[in-house]
Amino acid sequence: MADRAPDPARGLLFPADEEEEAPVAGFARVALNRPLHCEFTYSVPPALAESARPGVRVAVPFGSRRLIGVIVATEDGCDLDPRRIRPLADVLDAEPMVDAGLLELTRWFADYYACSWGQALSAVLPGSLKREGNRRRVRVVSVREGVGETELAEVVDRFPKQHRLLRTLLEIGAPVELRVVTRRLKISEHPCRSLERRGWVTIERVVSAPDPLLSSGLDRERPEQLSDQQETAVGALVERLEQGEYGTFLLQGVTGSGKTEVYLRVIERALELGRGAIVLVPEIALTPQTVSWFRSRFGDVAILHSGMTDAQRLDMWMRARSGAARVVVGARSAIFAPVPDLGVIVVDEEHEPSFKQESVPRYHARDIAVVRARALGAVCVLGSATPSLESWKNAREERYERLALTERVSGRGMPVIEIVDMRREKPDRAGPKLFSRRLRTLLEETLERGKQSILFLNRRGFAPVLWCRECGESVRCRQCDVTLTFHRRIGRAVCHCCCEEVGPPKACPACTAPALHYLGGGSERVESSLGALLPEARVARMDSDTMLRREDYERTLESFGRGELDVLVGTQMIAKGLDFPNVVLVGIVAADSALHLPDFRAAERTYQLLAQVSGRAGRGADQGRIVVQTCTPDHPAIQRAARNDFEGFCAQEEALRGELGYPPHARLIRVVFEDEDAARAGEAAERCAHGLEACAREHGGAVLGPAPAPIAMLRGRHRRHLLLKLPARGSDAEAGSVARGFLIRFAEESTRTRVLIDVDPVSML
Ligand code: ADP
Ligand code: ZN
């Protein structure tokens, strides 16, 4: 593993001050948010001696810059030549921002996920704590009166980024935080500055408004009577909590079985015992609905999600830290909330891939939850209708305790699932086959009965492929190895990887044949075909193209809840957490779309998705019905999901993974090599694979690849990857740390090729 002791060679990165020696009251080791796997030693001037304690943030000189870091240790002496150590510039906090427990946790985190301690700490601290300066203000962009089509037309060809930005701002039609739009459109601030110079937009600094989720108030009643199964689950959890000992429980409960009520009861008890709680939910399930469940039960609940401004996040973070809010509900990063005396950690939908952060530091919040609970003697509840195979295996092997809710509350039945073989459906004259006869009939029936339907398709846009019949080519992104998706409303072909877009080519870019064909369907096409099929139905589409702001999302859900809409068409965004009793029909338009991904978890994902989406139907008194449209009706994931046979699916899938040596039977480290120069990326990958071979051989592991990554080019960079497989248990700890140590050095030494280390990877693209 990386040596955590200060590295003398590194302590001297900056030139020594030739000035006379200043008095020194000790030394501080500071973790900086940089990809350098060491901490840096600074001297503590006497004036700062009182406040320079572990866990406080400090400003330090670094080269010619000033950076913010966290003191991880203080020392009286130092082996380095004191004249060559620079002093801390400032201490920014009166009290430590990060307590000893979180310091320890992030240190483990950095080791395990092969990042620097400072990078791990950056995952813990809210954004505004990583900067100095005014925390309460955010920059907000608004379009000036009268700016519209003319201006758009002026920039469309020559300044595509300005065009994209201006169009998005016009669509939103309200001021938005600058950082939010630039991040979403994957652009820098330059295009916005250009629009400002043209006099089309204004950028203002404003005091950040309170979190919009605060306002929503749907009250939930506390059911008097728990079901027998809920009672048993709550009993087991409360018992462990009262003992004050660590335990991880896998709460496996079918959709609608009342898992949330179980969480609420354990948290009630924790609060009575004077302890706090963290509840993690997937970002998109963090709806006003979910929040109101917790707010109406516990009052002051701190919410943390990525849509908040830094100032809002900081506010919530401080309220958790001071104990004003003892319950924190949030997405991935909420696992680090500084809740004092944490007693319960809940991870709802624990199988969700979004708990894995896909940028540095690449941690898995569910796994951190277990580690944090163990360190604190807290109870960790992992809840899901379809647990990940990893957790399922951990429960089977009794590392986790298993609690089961096999029935829906109040005896409501599970929905009936029908598989429709799309290969047998007649092709549609107008376009791709989106609706089977069966689905059409049921949609009409549901509408007539005044009930609601949900249509799910895991793909946005109108047509994912623009295809030339003459030469067989399809239109691709210039910078990424993917096809462009046609979006009809904006009339542009968009890259879903880098967000760049072009006007739809009138002719094939490869052979100049006229008339490209629009193949396949996305949510936009489903919505428009539905309009033709059921003209009288009130339809809304929910995907990241229509739901530009959180408010749009909340408004649409509320109006669906009030029965002002008949059909909701959507992507991932509608797969989770929604609980609308009037929904009796769910159509899964293309169940196999996830099956063809180059990912060993493709079948597992498909099962999870089917179960999840199906769970949206039949939550009221009426029987729910699910139509699963597929071209692979015999696939085990689809067959088992239709029979609700999760155990059978897991057993089969686990055996398969065992044969292939994939998780949960093995642990993986994925390494991605990115470079503008394909040969250089290839060469780095080969060298790295070669270096890992010995470690793999010695510990009974293996190196797979290197090979081109499934997305072989991204934003103009060629990508290769390799997988290191290590045994799941036994020698793992040592093998893992040897491999990570090698990879960290390799990555640090590789200056041209970018080397990304992903421990326990979730995305294989
Ligand atoms: P899950 O998360 O397991 O899918 P939910 O927690 O959404 O299930 O619960 C489904 C519905 O059942 C919710 O509307 C909830 O209010 C209700 N519910 C939960 N427990 C009970 C109970 N003991 N009695 C009556 N209704 C309950
Ligand atoms: Zn692209």
CA 126 to each of CA 50, 337, 466: distance values in angstroms, whole numbers, following the listed order: 25, 9, 42
Q: How many CB atoms lie within 10 A of CB 679?
A: 9
Residues with CB under 5 A from ligand 2 (ion): 477, 479-480, 495, 497-498
Residue 749, pLDDT score: 92
Residue 16 one-letter amino acid: A
pLDDT beyond 90 at 313: no
Q: What residue ranges define each of the domains in the chain, with the CATH number in brackets?
A: 8-130 (3.40.1440.60), 137-207 (no CATH), 213-411 (3.40.50.300), 416-461+521-656 (3.40.50.300), 665-759 (3.30.70.360)
Please report which confidence band the pLDDT of residue 21 belongs to, taking 50, 70 and 90 as the band edges.
low
723 contacts: CB under 8 Å, gap ≥ 6: 668, 669, 670, 671, 703, 704, 705, 761
Encode pLDDT of 532-589 as tens digits: 899 999 999 998 888 777 778 888 888 998 999 999 999 988 877 677 888 999 999 9
Amino acid 107: pLDDT: 95
Whether pLDDT at 13 is above 50? no
- Distance in angstroms (rounded) separating the CA atoms of residues 75 and 364: 33
**How many Å apart are CA 689 and CA 705, to the nearest integer?**
8
Residues written for the chain: 765
Query: Edge-to-edge strands of the sheet including 492-494?
Result: 485-487, 492-494, 501-502
Per-residue pLDDT, 210? 56
Beta bridge partners of 502: 493
Distance 644 CA to ligand 2 centre (A): 39
Give the pLDDT mean for 662-672.
93
356 lines ligand 1 (CB under 6 A): no
pLDDT tens figures, 375-431: 999 999 999 999 999 999 999 999 999 999 999 886 777 888 999 999 998 876 667
Residue among 423, 387, 436, 428 at smallest CA distance from 628 = 436
Cα 449 to Cα 240: distance, rounded to the nearest angstrom: 48
Check if 349 has its Cβ closer than 6 Å to any atom of ligand 1: no
Looking at residue 696, what is its pLDDT? Answer: 87
Specify whether the CB–CB gap between 424 and 448 falls below 8 A: no
pLDDT in tens, 739-759: 888 999 999 999 899 999 999
Q: If you take atom 25 of ligand 1, which residue's CA is the nearest one? A: 223
732 band by pLDDT with thresholds 50, 70 and 90: low
35 near 119, Cβ under 8 Å? yes
Q: Three-state SS for 374?
A: helix
Please tell me the predicted confidence (pLDDT) of residue 20. Answer: 53
Confidence (pLDDT) at 78: 80
Alpha carbon of 257 to ligand 1 centroid (Å): 6
Residue 307: predicted pLDDT: 74
The reported pLDDT for the residue numbered 647 is 93
Would you say the CB of residue 728 lies under 6 angstroms from ligand 1? no
Average the pLDDT over 685-701 and give the result.
90
Report how far apart, in Å, the C-alpha atoms of 29 and of each of 6, 7, 95, 129, 162 are: 8, 11, 17, 19, 44
pLDDT of residue 4: 41
pLDDT at 161 (0 to 100): 92
* pLDDT tens, position by position, 136-165: 677 889 999 999 899 999 998 899 999 999
Pocket test for ligand 1, best of 230, 234, 254, 261 (most atoms within 8 A of CB): 261
The rounded Å distance from CA 713 to ligand 2 centre is 9
Neighbours of 190 (CB within 10 A): 12
CA distance 84 to 61: 13
